[in-house]
């Protein structure tokens, strides 16, 4: 928690402009944030809050109508967890940039 004030100070200097086309979603509060102040608060809170991945997946499905979850980065832990907690959704793990490019070129998700 001691990192909170320094992180908040750094985020205060970040100019989020223009507001994003799509709001950011955090697992800390299971909410979307589009305004700069809300984004700053959510990013600072996210550093110290537990990751609520199962709740996040269910929220994506139940409140936002998302049918495909894409995990970007090494490993497939979150995709595996997602398959167990919401098998009715599509779960894709893209471990590197070439995987992302291949997925995009194949029209993935469309």
Domains of the chain: residue spans and CATH: 1-50 (no CATH), 52-110 (3.90.25.70)
**H-helix or E-strand spanning residue 89:** none
- Confidence bin at 37 (pLDDT 50/70/90): confident
Q: What is the pLDDT of residue 69?
A: 94
- Confidence bin at 108 (pLDDT 50/70/90): confident
Please return the burial class of 53, using the count of CB atoms within 10 Å of its CB with bins 0-12, 13-18 and 19+.
Answer: middle
Backbone angles phi, psi at 27, to 5 degrees: -80, -10
Q: List 32's β-bridge partners, or say none.
A: 25
Q: What is the pLDDT of residue 84?
A: 96
Q: What is the SS3 string spanning 12-56? A: HCCCCCCCCCCCEEECCCCEEECCHHHHHHHHHHHCCCCCCHHHH
Q: List 66's β-bridge partners, or say none.
A: none
Please return the burial class of 44, using the count of CB atoms within 10 Å of its CB with bins 0-12, 13-18 and 19+.
Answer: buried
Calculate mean pLDDT across residues 13-42: 84
80 pLDDT exceeds 90? yes
- Confidence bin at 8 (pLDDT 50/70/90): confident
Calculate mean pLDDT across residues 51-67: 93
């Amino acid at each position: 928690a001691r990192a909170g004030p320094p992180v908040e100070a750094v985020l205060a200097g970040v100019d989020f402009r223009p507001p994003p086309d799509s709001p950011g979603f955090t697992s800390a509060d299971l909410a979307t944030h589009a305004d700069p102040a809300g984004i700053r608060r959510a990013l600072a809170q996210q550093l110290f809050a537990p990751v609520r991945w199962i709740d996040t997946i269910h929220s994506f499905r139940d409140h936002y109508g998302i049918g495909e979850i894409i995990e970007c980065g090494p490993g497939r832990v979150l995709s595996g967890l997602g398959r167990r907690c919401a098998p009715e959704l599509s779960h894709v793990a893209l471990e590197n940039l070439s995987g992302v490019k291949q997925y995009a070129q194949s029209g993935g998700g469309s």
